[in-house]
Structure 1
Amino acid sequence: MSRLLPERGPQRLLAASNLVYTVGSGLYLTAGVLYFTQGVRLPAGQVGAGLAIAGSVALAIGIGAGHLADRHGPRRVYAVTLAVQALATASFVLVHSFWPFVVTVCLATGAKAAGLAARSPLIRHFGGDRPQEFRAYLRAVTNVGISLGALAAGWVVQVGTLSAYQLMVVGNAIAFVVSAVILVGLPAVAPAPVADDGTRRVALRDWPYLALTAIDGVMAIQFKVLTVAIPLWLVTATTAPAWTVSGTMLISTIMVVLFQVRASRGIDSPVAGGRAYRRSGIAFLASCALIPLSRGIPGWAAAVLLLVAAVVHTVGELWHSAAGFEVSFALAPVHATGQYLGVFGLGAGLAEALGPGLLIALCISWGTPGWYVVGALFAVTGLLAPAAVRWARASERGGRVDDRPARSWRPTTRALRQRGAA
């Protein structure tokens, strides 16, 4: 186990907090949409619209939270976002109609976006020589937590009662509270220094970085394929057993646990990140071409086909995530890590805003042709990434100063490299 864990100290505390957080997230990611559609009985179209509104609200929150983390210290800001997310999530049990759903999901999604931005300076500060690899390790931990949550969510989906779904929501909120409590033992991180020229919101003027943010945002819609599109497709268009919802999530999370760190090793420059985006788009196209074939066939065959599609999809997810880690950190200056990573989080916000509604409209309402359109969208977007990376590199050479300090190779990072597919 010592090879699978970071050294005692900040890295282990961050990993533990992340694990608890994602156990709760695994519950919601696997069955959250079904809670609102099957438990609360909101129409799927209203759920998609509400999630789109929440994602739109979250778009600007990440930038502000990242800026606050840079200026006032990331640990405190991150802990506050976890507390808000816990309260908002617990409020889901009070939702019985559209507008209360919109309010609560906006609070929860906004707090999530803020937390991702506020956590980024912590990852960079405690992540060693290559925080990208520590971020990949945290994603492997994330998927351990999600897999545990998905197991419990499988029981919730199988039971299918409102009480079971509400128990899932309460468990999710408790996980957020415990995650925040763990952060008490984390050393405080001093606010980041202001740039020499006094500028503060430099990320919003970095057009190549914004272009990469947009590309990552479109690609990030892929996260909603497993958590929104496949569950709804399975219950409305196939005869596959209900446990297949958890099965697709589990197979994906296990693959990420085993291979995310390994996949990130080979993507060690922005140029390599651009190529990885391109490969991931092709994998998503292949997965989206397989999923509609599960309609009109026996339940066992549909389950097998959906599981195979989940494997192909996850290969693309590994490449996409590793590319995002490398590009977002490598092109962000130290004095504005939270701000830059908050801007890059607009990609995830874009996926939250557009992903559920887009996937429901194309893949569920339109059906089979919509899956092919979504796959083509991923493939074309991935093909644009290498050119965007070249633009960003040319912009750096043309005058933007790289103020990232050289750092010595630290034992914690070497141990992370040796950890393999942990």
Structure 2
Amino acid sequence: MPKLIPDSRPQRVLVASNLVYTMGSGLYLTAGVLYFTQAVRLPAEQVGLGLGIAGLVAPAVGIAVGHLADVRGARGVYVITLLVQALATAGFVLADGFWSFVLVIGLAAAAKAAGLAARTPLIRHYGGDRPQEFRARLRAVTNVGISVGAVGAGWIVQEGTLNAYRCMVVGNALAFVCAAATLFLLPSVPPGPVMDGSRWSALRDRPYLLLTVLDGVMAIQFKVLTVAVPLWLIGATTAPHWLISGTMLTGTVIVVAFQVRAGRGIDSPAAGGRAYRRAGVAFLVACALISLSAGTPAWAATALLITAVVIHTVGELWHAAAGFEVSFALAPRHATGQYLGVFGLGAGLAEAFGPGLLIALCITWGRPGWYVVGALFLLTGLAAPPAVRLALRHQHAQQAHTGRLLLRRRAAIESATGTTIQQR
């Protein structure tokens, strides 16, 4: 943890806010679904449907709020999203049926997506020369916070009472409020300049949208260790069940220890494209090893699964670092929130459809499904470098076009006023 604490005060404020926020998130990620199935007594099918609906609606909200953060000031917008998320989370205790559940979970998911988009201009403004590296630091802190929250959630699940689950909901909401309060220690960021045609420009940037789709497909990998591996371990292997926690702990430790280091060598969009390709290869190898763990002795299954998790997490480091690089480097500074909101669409769709896809292919179909999923990751990684090159050409063309517009505007002003504008 000491190595994750940055030197500048604004960065430390963002890290502290993120740590508090993710401690609350760790409570929900570990015990949230159990709250609705065990305490609220909703059928698991309805919970899954409600989460899917929320996952579809939330990313679109992120784009709109990201644009708002660009033109109105990111800190205030981000604080509002955290407070809305706290209010929606507190509303979990009032959910007593399917539609009330959909309402509060949809509002919470929308506020979360909006907050991630609104935070990106802050990361870019205070991230120094390499905001991508600071984003990697935040991801490492995120894993620390979620792990701490998961420890508290373990007690809640062990108790299993309605009051214990309600403590989880209240603790989660309070964490979001504290994260918002911490941000008032952060100097405000003035709104960026409004450029002609900048409204919803990210949705017209086809190369950036292509990268969003590719990153979204690869983002399904985040559900491999949390959804597919536990179900596979229990249903298809003889490995001990405690290994589920072991695989999660292994992945978390690797991310905390090496995410910042992994991002340092990925310092250009081209390097990001190559990192996507390496990640695809790593995911294919990991999927193959997981499939081989079925039908083997317990010791062999354990060794194969642990090895697969290590290789998969290395691929996760490359994938995350590549996403940080291309999403920031290819986004115009004046539209950071809007562009990163669009980039979050891919991860949002993976969140909504990834679990069902992995269950259908890897669990229901079995061993062949793992090879199909691995091949999907590999093909996505291979497609990333040419997609990055296309996006770079488009970015250069857009920059040249903007430069010409500024020159014309300057010439028009000089002609109208009879003065010469000095270039800085």
Structure 1 partner of 2:16: 16
Structure 2 partner of 1:419: none
Displacement of 1:364 after TM fit?
A: 3.7
Tell me which moved more, 242-251 or 79-88.
Answer: 242-251
Structure 2 distance, partners of 1:200, 1:368, is 47
Amino acid at match of 1:357: G
Distance 1:19 1:70, change over 3 A: same
Amino acid at match of 2:312: H
Which one scores higher on RCO, CA 8 angstroms, separation ≥ 6?
Answer: 1
Displacement of 1:327 after TM fit?
A: 0.1
Distance 1:144 1:396, change over 3 A: same
Structure 2 partner of 1:200: 199
1:249-307 residue CA offsets vs partner (Å, 9 max, x unmatched): 22212111111111101111111101111111122222223334455666676555443
Structure 1 distance, partners of 2:276, 2:266, is 10
1:330 paired to 2:324: no
1:78 paired to 2:78: yes
Structure 1 distance, partners of 2:207, 2:45, is 35
Equivalent pair of 1:51/1:352 in contact (CA under 8 Å): no
Structure 2 partner of 1:383: 382
Distance 1:390 1:293, change over 3 A: same
Structure 2 partner of 1:100: 100
Structure 1 partner of 2:256: 257
Structure 1 partner of 2:213: 214
Displacement of 1:97 after TM fit?
A: 4.4
Distance 1:314 1:38, change over 3 A: farther
Distance 1:371 1:264, change over 3 A: same
Which is richer in helix?
2
Equivalent pair of 1:30/1:246 in contact (CA under 8 Å): no
| Unaligned residue ranges in structure 2 (runs of 5+) | 404-424
Equivalent pair of 2:82/2:115 in contact (CA under 8 Å): yes
Structure 1 distance, partners of 2:17, 2:50, is 29
- Scaled by the length of structure 1, the TM-score of the pair is 0.86
Distance 1:302 1:173, change over 3 A: farther
How is 1:23-422 mapped onto 2 (pairs within 5 angstroms)?
Answer: 23-36=23-36, 42-95=42-95, 97-157=97-157, 164-195=164-195, 197-234=196-233, 243-295=242-294, 305-401=304-400
Displacement of 1:377 after TM fit?
A: 1.7
Q: Kindly report the root-mean-square deviation, in angstroms, between the aligned alpha carbons of the 2 structures.
A: 2.7
Structure 2 distance, partners of 1:264, 1:156, is 36
Equivalent pair of 1:396/1:402 in contact (CA under 8 Å): no
Structure 2 distance, partners of 1:308, 1:164, is 36
Distance 1:133 1:381, change over 3 A: same
Displacement of 1:376 after TM fit?
A: 2.1
Give % identity. Answer: 72
Equivalent pair of 2:63/2:117 in contact (CA under 8 Å): yes
Structure 1 distance, partners of 2:53, 2:130, is 36
- Scaled by the length of structure 2, the TM-score of the pair is 0.86
Equivalent pair of 1:154/1:243 in contact (CA under 8 Å): no
Structure 2 distance, partners of 1:245, 1:155, is 18
Distance 1:173 1:401, change over 3 A: farther
SS at match of 2:194: coil
Structure 2 partner of 1:408: none
Distance 1:40 1:313, change over 3 A: farther
SS at match of 2:309: helix
Structure 1 distance, partners of 2:335, 2:303, is 46
Structure 2 distance, partners of 1:253, 1:259, is 10
Distance 1:207 1:289, change over 3 A: same
Structure 1 distance, partners of 2:76, 2:215, is 28
Structure 1 distance, partners of 2:300, 2:169, is 32
Structure 1 distance, partners of 2:63, 2:181, is 25
Tell me which moved more, 248-257 or 293-302.
Answer: 293-302
Displacement of 1:402 after TM fit?
A: 9.3
Equivalent pair of 1:154/1:245 in contact (CA under 8 Å): no
Distance 1:166 1:62, change over 3 A: same
1:317-367 residue CA offsets vs partner (Å, 9 max, x unmatched): 100000001001111111111111111111221212222332233334444
Distance 1:179 1:307, change over 3 A: farther
Structure 1 partner of 2:420: none
Equivalent pair of 2:239/2:301 in contact (CA under 8 Å): yes
Equivalent pair of 2:280/2:382 in contact (CA under 8 Å): yes
Amino acid at match of 1:26: G
Q: How many residues align?
A: 403
Equivalent pair of 1:157/1:242 in contact (CA under 8 Å): no
Distance 1:224 1:170, change over 3 A: farther
Tell me which moved more, 36-45 or 213-222.
Answer: 36-45
SS at match of 2:129: coil
Structure 2 partner of 1:409: none
Q: Which has the larger radius of gyration?
A: 2
1:10-30 residue CA offsets vs partner (Å, 9 max, x unmatched): 110000000111112223334
SS at match of 1:345: helix
Amino acid at match of 1:390: R
Structure 2 distance, partners of 1:230, 1:161, is 28
Displacement of 1:170 after TM fit?
A: 3.2
Equivalent pair of 1:79/1:183 in contact (CA under 8 Å): yes
1:16-73 residue CA offsets vs partner (Å, 9 max, x unmatched): 0001111122233344445445665655544433222111101211110101101111
Distance 1:266 1:170, change over 3 A: same
Distance 1:330 1:48, change over 3 A: same
Equivalent pair of 1:13/1:182 in contact (CA under 8 Å): yes
Amino acid at match of 1:382: G
Equivalent pair of 1:217/1:347 in contact (CA under 8 Å): yes
